[in-house]
């Protein structure tokens, strides 16, 4: 519970600071965060792939394709 309070306090502090940004600074922040968030997501997917966490889903997708249950987009 204590950690949640600390995290929320940090998040609330960030929210206040972001709300103070002017339009141009907000656009720069938004662009930075989008790139940062994408990089974090890519790293997580990469770790999951190496850990084999997506293997079952991949096998199911391949089986569905071989069974003719997929379509070309």
Please tell me the distance from the alpha carbon of residue 10 to that of residue 4, in angstroms, as a whole number: 10
**27-31-13 Cα angle (round to 5):** 75
Tokens for 32, please give them: 């930075």
* Residues 41-64: tens digit of each pLDDT: 999 999 999 999 999 999 999 999
Domain regions of the chain by residue span: 2-66
Please tell me the distance from the alpha carbon of residue 43 to that of residue 50, in angstroms, as a whole number: 11
Go through 27-49 and write b for each residue having 16 or more CB atoms within 10 A of its CB, e for each that does not.
eeeeeeeeeeeeeeeeeeeeeee
- pTM of the predicted structure, to 2 decimals: 0.65
* Residues 14-29: tens digit of each pLDDT: 999 999 999 999 999 9
* Between 11 and 29, residue with greater pLDDT: 29
């Amino acid at each position: 519970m204590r950690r949640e309070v600390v995290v929320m306090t940090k998040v609330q502090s960030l929210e206040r600071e972001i709300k103070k940004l002017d339009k141009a600074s907000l656009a720069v922040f938004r662009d930075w965060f989008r790139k940062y968030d994408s990089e974090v997501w890519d790293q997580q997917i990469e770790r999951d792939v190496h850990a084999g966490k997506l293997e079952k889903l991949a096998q199911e997708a391949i089986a569905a394709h071989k069974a003719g249950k997929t379509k070309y987009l």
